[in-house]
Amino acid sequence: MSSQAFTSVHPNAATSDVNVTIDTFVAKLKRRQVQGSYAIALETLQLLMRFISAARWNHVNDLIEQIRDLGNSLEKAHPTAFSCGNVIRRILAVLRDEVEEDTMSTTVTSTSVAEPLISSMFNLLQKPEQPHQNRKNSSGSSGMKTKTDYRQVAIQGIKDLIDEIKNIDEGIQQIAIDLIHDHEILLTPTPDSKTVLKFLITARERSNRTFTVLVTEGFPNNTKNAHEFAKKLAQHNIETLVVPDSAVFALMSRVGKVIIGTKAVFVNGGTISSNSGVSSVCECAREFRTPVFAVAGLYKLSPLYPFDVEKFVEFGGSQRILPRMDPRKRLDTVNQITDYVPPENIDIYITNVGGFNPSFIYRIAWDNYKQIDVHLDKNKA
Amino acid sequence: MSESEAKSRSATPPSKAKQATPTTTAAANGEKKLTNKELKELKKQEKAAKRAAMKQANGISIEQQQQQAQMKKEKKQLQREQQQKREQKQKNANKKKQNERNVKKSTLFGHLETTEERRATILALTSAVSSPKTSRITAAGLMVPVVASALSGSNVLTASSLMPVGPNASSTVSASAPASTTTTLPASSAALSAGTSSASTNTPTAIQQEIASSNASDVAKTLASISLEAGEFNVIPGISSVIPTVLEQSFDNSSLISSVKELLLNKDLIHPSILLLTSHLAHYKIVGSIPRCIAMLEVFQIVIKDYQTPKGTTLSRNLTSYLSHQIDLLKKARPLSVTMGNAIRWLKQEISLIDPSTPDKAAKKDLCEKIGQFAKEKIELADQLIIDNASTQIEESTTIVTYGSSKVLTELLLHNAISLKKNIKVIVVDSRPLFEGRKMAETLRNAGVNVMYALITSLDTIFNMDVDYVFLGAHSILSNGFLYSRAGTAMLAMSAKRRNIPVLVCCESLKFSQRVQLDSVTFNELADPNDLVNIDYENPVERRGNKGALLNQFIKERKFEKKKLAMENKPKGNKIGGKKGSEGESKDASNEEDSNSKNILDGWQELPSLNIVNILYDLTPPEYIKKVITEFGALPPSSVPVILREYKGSA
């Protein structure tokens, strides 16, 4: 299949309709009109659902290929909207699991003993028993499967994932509340994170803990969010302090814990936060030995590895930093929009499936993704 | 029982018992021609009499009965008084609570003086110091001084109709004047007209009409209200009328009041140029420890020139205390910078060294010269030496990161880029709310230096750009080697240290301080939290322009008062003038709200659990600093106390 499979080829009315929605979504992503990884993930899933219901394929690999193409085009539209690619990879993993299961069942019928995965060092050196034959058998037999089955599987997977994403905060809150004590001073440099906001409010109201929250402003891109965040917290009777970004070091000695929201979590345990200045805050925290915990839904885990951090960090225009510049006397400026926090500056990740060390994140990632789908772009894979 | 009764009988004065008896008899006599009320009373008395008879039958005498009644009465009275007291207490407590809520102290920095307190003090002082003959504008309206003096003491006179009354509205003046509680005293009309004509386009005839229309009762009313107002906040007499209501609330702190009172006692001693400097400092028109110090020394030269030794003392003895009064006021603008403190210490020593026999004129001239020399030696020449020394650090084509704005650093970088023609790249890091770095970046850029400007949130990117050195300015270096500088410096130094980029501090030895401090929370300076409410790219000085926070506050309160007046006037059925005015005002108000509502945190004072921290300085630990470049050479931060000790004589 060519990469334009879903854009132009099919004359079918339903597919063309889907193509229009895809195009508009791609345009929206390109214009950065969808804000926040939560919204992006949900919209991507809705789109994927429509895409799969309208898609036609001969073999399940065909379907997987089409989904990969879709994911690739979406990722190209907004390379740093990681949640978009993450959910597509999750669905791909669901499909591939299903395929594997089918092949397994066929192999079970063909060979009497189900071969376990290599679990021991001794097996490592053993000669694998007729693997080629099995593979061939399986691929041949899986071709006999009906297609509707996979459509159902994919759509059910999407529905489950939407459910999971919508209920993520509950799971995180239960774990995270146990991490703060009464009268603690917390600092959050990511006031745009809904998860952090909800967590703090439930900690105050449901567990009835009193604590102080310092909110950094994140000037220039995030100050509005920060102020709104602070106001909301104060309205929920949480002692809140708005702090300029420059005062973080001065106050860090009094802070008990730093909470950060995340935009994407990479397999090495590093994270991209949707707010500049977070990495300096975490560095400060490290310097003062203040624990930093990051809250992240499972859908924010990305199977990518940040070899080149600059590729993942976004930069904005200068108008927010030097609004009125004399055109004859120009200055260079930097306006970092997102920020990369290396794993050594984060103590723990709280996800909806539990708390993990940054060094363990890779394992959670491979529970949910398949290695083969890391790069959706064919040229790289 | 009989014993106790006998005791109580002897205790009560006999006159009371006598008083009680005639009333009962009188009531018994004039029974028939009475109203309902009195009838009821009579019935009560009858019942009481019956009871008395019963009691008498039981063996209790009339006198005893009366005494018991008296006791009961007293008891009730006591109870009532107690209740009142309790209510009063509760009221007071409520008031206190409100005050506590209004005076916001952030959780971490409750021990530091807030800008609002400082502002209230300065305002109180300036209002008391500035001549009583100038007219002042208060939230209640324009204060005309001559009238005020005529009123002797209760010194407020409102002329609030000055704004609504236009030149062609003279016909409606008579209608609107009483409504807006305008009162003018017939006396001193000349002064009044002078004041009003300068304030608005009002014609003298309109004023006369006003005067004619305002009758005596109105005058009495306003006077009554004025005295009431004065009674409400007579914390410090003489300043009550000038302080906006918000600022009053900060006056519930007794130590603050006493300090203001103390300053007020010496208000006559304060030199006007000191007042001017105080206001400049308070509004951040002069910032940076060196510029502040220079400005102070210049003003001191003027003060010393104008100084006259009072009879009976000598210059060397009296001038020090005279200067202390000036310094007390300066302290109220912002806490003194370390440079200012060091300069003052030096100056006081110089004064004490003056031979009492030298004539005043020569001594004053000598002092002024010495001050000039001090500034030159300690600041200008020191800077020159620092620049020479630091220039050896800067090689061809290096990238240098600086933070905020520093006078020495600007000169150093200009010297290297322009005079020495080194091809350097400068990255100026800046932060909210003062945006001082912008000034430095512009200066460098205008001179043709390759400059990059970034905010502190982008630190990560900046340090990924092959930075060779970090150069920092200083507010002061403490005796334990900590660098006390603009908030954000520490973060920059820390980031640099973690990336193995050398951090160098350029600092005159004038900035060395004897103080030791361990973290930035214990001692710091709080700036105005309202500066952080606006989300824009201007620094607070630019944003305010010429109107300070006080003027804004005044405008707000004035609007509120006008609204209140309009509300009060409505039910009275004020036809033409009132309606027009209120409509216009409501429109204005809505517009104002629209333009104001863009700031999310506008009403932050009302949320009890919301606070804004705006600290000015932070402490950089010595381990982040590679070396400190002073006019004595480059040294590690641990050598600061050595320099202080070795060069104490000269510093």
**Per mean pLDDT, which of B117-121, B527-531, B585-589 is the most reliable?**
B527-531
Q: Are B618 and A246 in contact (CB < 8 Å)?
A: yes
Q: Are A250 and B615 in contact (CB < 8 Å)?
A: yes
Residues of chain B contacting A322 with CB distance shorter than 8 Å:
438, 453, 537
Closest CB to B453: pick one of A212, A251, A331: A331
Residues B632, B484 share a domain: yes
pLDDT of A107 reads 62
Q: What's the CA gap between B535 and B543, in Å, rounded?
A: 11
Q: What's the CA gap between B514 and A372, in Å, rounded?
A: 65
Task: Compare all CA atoms of chain A with the CA of B618 and give the residue at the minimum distance.
Answer: A250
B462 in contact with chain A, both atoms CB, cutoff 8 A: yes
Q: Bigger pLDDT: A71 or B227?
A: A71
Q: Are B613 and A242 in contact (CB < 8 Å)?
A: yes
Q: Bigger pLDDT: A277 or B183?
A: A277
Task: Provide block-wise average pLDDT over 10 residues at a time, chain A (381 residues).
Answer: 44 71 89 86 90 85 89 88 89 88 67 52 60 48 54 88 88 83 90 89 85 89 88 90 91 92 92 90 93 91 88 84 73 88 93 90 89 79 51
Q: What's the CA gap between A52 and A161, in Å, rounded?
A: 15
pLDDT of B398 reads 92
Residues B294, B242 share a domain: no
Please count the residue pairs, one from chain A and one from chain B, whose beta carbons lie less than 8 angstroms apart. Answer: 176
pLDDT of A181 reads 86
Give residue B296's pLDDT band: very low, low, confident or very high (50, 70, 90). Answer: very high
Judge whether B215 lies within some domain: yes
Buried b (16+ CB within 10 A) or exposed e, B230-267: beeeebbeebbbbbbebbbbbbbeeebbebbeebbebb
Q: Are B537 and A335 in contact (CB < 8 Å)?
A: no
Tokens 């009821």 locate to: B40
Quick one: tokens of B80? 């009532």
pLDDT of B577 reads 42
Judge whether B567 lies within some domain: no
Collapsing DSSP to helix, strand or coil, A39 comes out as helix
Give residue B287's pLDDT band: very low, low, confident or very high (50, 70, 90). Answer: confident
- Nearby residues of B155 by Cβ (< 8 Å), 6 or more positions away: B143, B145, B148, B149, B241
Task: Compare all CA atoms of chain A with the CA of B438 and give the residue at the minimum distance.
Answer: A322
Q: Are A339 and B460 in contact (CB < 8 Å)?
A: yes
The CA-based angle B4-B10-B11, given to 5 degrees, is 90
Q: What proportion of chain B, given as a percentage, has pLDDT over 90?
A: 19
Q: What's the CA gap between A307 and A268, in Å, rounded?
A: 10
Buried b (16+ CB within 10 A) or exposed e, B289-312: bbebbbbbbebbbebbeebebeee
Domains and CATH numbers, chain A: 5-109+146-166 (1.20.120.420), 168-373 (3.40.50.10470)
Task: Compare all CA atoms of chain A with the CA of B615 and give the residue at the minimum distance.
Answer: A247
Nearest CA to CA, how far is B534 from chain A (Å)?
10
Quick one: tokens of B569? 């006037």
Q: What's the CA gap between A222 and A244, in Å, rounded?
A: 12
Residues B190, B296 share a domain: no
Domain boundary among B336, B357, B378: B357
Residue type, B12: T
Pairing of strands B503-506, B627-630: parallel
DSSP characters over A167-226: THHHHHHHHHHTT--TTEEEEES-TT-HHHHHHHHHHHHTS---EEEEEE--TTTSHHHH
Q: What's the CA gap between B638 and B572, in Å, rounded?
A: 75
Q: What's the CA gap between B63 and A272, in Å, rounded?
A: 94
Provide the residue range defining the domain that includes B143: 115-261
pLDDT of B61 reads 67
Judge whether B332 lies within some domain: yes
pLDDT of B206 reads 40
Separation in Å, CA A39 to CA A92, A162, B462, B641: 20, 11, 31, 58
Judge whether B50 lies within some domain: yes
Nearest CA to CA, how far is B536 from chain A (Å)?
8
Domain boundary among B303, B335, B357: B357
Q: Bigger pLDDT: B573 or B604?
A: B604
pLDDT of A3 reads 43
Separation in Å, CA B85 to CA A92, B82, B89, B91, B233: 77, 5, 6, 10, 22
Nearest CA to CA, how far is B104 from chain A (Å)?
12
Sign of the dihedral defined by the CA atoms of residues B346, B348, B353, B354, in that order: positive
Q: Residue B488's domain is classified under what CATH number? A: 3.40.50.10470
Residues B350, B413 share a domain: no
Residues B63, B120 share a domain: no
Nearest CA to CA, how far is A75 from chain B (Å)?
24
Quick one: tokens of B309? 């030794």
Q: Bigger pLDDT: B168 or B363?
A: B363
Q: Are A244 and B487 in contact (CB < 8 Å)?
A: yes
Q: Are B494 and A251 in contact (CB < 8 Å)?
A: no
Q: Bigger pLDDT: A381 or B641?
A: B641
Quick one: tokens of B318? 């009296």
The count of other CB atoms within 10 Å of the CB of residue B346 is 17
Residues B254, B160 share a domain: yes
Q: Bigger pLDDT: B260 or B637?
A: B637
Residues B276, B255 share a domain: no
Domain boundary among B312, B337, B357: B357
- Nearby residues of B413 by Cβ (< 8 Å), 6 or more positions away: B400, B402, B424, B426, B444, B449, B471
Q: Which helix (H) or strand (E) is A108 found in, with range? A: helix A82-110
Give residue B401's pLDDT band: very low, low, confident or very high (50, 70, 90). Answer: very high
- Answer whether residue B580 shows pLDDT above 90: no
- B539 in the Ramachandran plot: left (φ > 0), alpha (ψ -120 to 50) or beta? beta
Judge whether B96 lies within some domain: no
Pairing of strands B136-138, B141-143: antiparallel
Residues of chain B contacting A313 with CB distance shorter than 8 Å:
460-461
Residues of chain A contacting B455 with CB distance shorter than 8 Å:
219-220, 245, 321, 335
Q: pLDDT tens-digit profile of B534-567?
A: 777 776 666 665 555 556 666 676 777 777 777 7
- Answer whether residue B197 shows pLDDT above 60: no
pLDDT of A104 reads 75
- Answer whether residue B253 shows pLDDT above 80: no
pLDDT of B279 reads 82
Residues of chain B contacting A279 with CB distance shorter than 8 Å:
459-460
Q: What's the CA gap between A339 and B645, in Å, rounded?
A: 46
Judge whether B651 lies within some domain: no
Q: Bigger pLDDT: B597 or B413?
A: B413
Residues B449, B308 share a domain: no
Q: What's the CA gap between B11 and B76, in Å, rounded?
A: 19
pLDDT of B131 reads 47
Buried b (16+ CB within 10 A) or exposed e, B77-108: eeeeeeeeeeeeeeeeeeeeeeeeebbbebeb
Q: Bigger pLDDT: B572 or B491?
A: B491
The CA-based angle A75-A77-A83, given to 5 degrees, is 40
pLDDT of B12 reads 43
- Answer whether residue B251 shows pLDDT above 60: no
A39-53, A343-357, B243-257, B592-606: lowest mean pLDDT where? B243-257
Residues B274, B253 share a domain: no
Q: Bigger pLDDT: B251 or A125?
A: A125
Q: Which of A249, A275, A337 to mutate to test the interface with B (most CBs of B within 10 A)?
A: A249
Judge whether B20 lies within some domain: yes
Report whether the peptide linkage leading into residue B356 is cis, meaning its omega lies within 30 degrees of zero. Answer: no
Tell me B230's DSSP state. H
Q: Bigger pLDDT: B145 or B524?
A: B524
Closest CB to A227: pick one of B438, B495, B600: B600
Residues of chain A contacting B609 with CB distance shorter than 8 Å:
233-234, 237-240
Residues of chain A contacting B462 with CB distance shorter than 8 Å:
334
Contact of B344 with B361, CB cutoff 8 Å:
no
B495 in contact with chain A, both atoms CB, cutoff 8 A: yes
Q: Are A251 and B521 in contact (CB < 8 Å)?
A: yes
pLDDT of B473 reads 92
Give residue B622's pLDDT band: very low, low, confident or very high (50, 70, 90). Answer: very high
Judge whether B375 lies within some domain: no
Task: Compare all CA atoms of chain A with the CA of B613 and give the residue at the minimum distance.
Answer: A243
Give residue B211's pLDDT band: very low, low, confident or very high (50, 70, 90). Answer: very low
Quick one: tokens of A7? 């854009």
Q: pLDDT tens-digit profile of B106-149?
A: 667 777 777 777 777 777 666 665 544 444 444 444 444 433 33
The CA-based angle B336-B342-B348, given to 5 degrees, is 105
- ipTM, two decimals, is 0.83
Give residue B424's pLDDT band: very low, low, confident or very high (50, 70, 90). Answer: very high
Residues B490, B636 share a domain: yes
Task: Compare all CA atoms of chain B with the CA of A275 and give the residue at the minimum distance.
Answer: B457
Q: What's the CA gap between B589 and B582, in Å, rounded?
A: 10
Residues B317, B241 share a domain: no
Closest CB to B609: pick one of A224, A234, A331: A234
Nearest CA to CA, how far is B388 from chain A (Å)?
27
The count of domains in chain B is: 4
Residues B279, B248 share a domain: no
The count of other CB atoms within 10 Å of the CB of residue A158 is 23
Q: Bigger pLDDT: A288 or B268?
A: A288
List strands edge to edge, sheet with A339-341.
A264-265, A271-273, A339-341
Task: Give the 3-state DSSP-derived string for B322-368, with helices as H, strands as E and coil as C.
Answer: HHHHHHHHHHHHCCCCHHHHHHHHHHHHHHHHCCCCCCHHHHHHHHH
- Nearby residues of A233 by Cβ (< 8 Å), 6 or more positions away: A197, A200, A201, A213, A215, A240, B609, B610
Nearest CA to CA, how far is B573 from chain A (Å)?
41
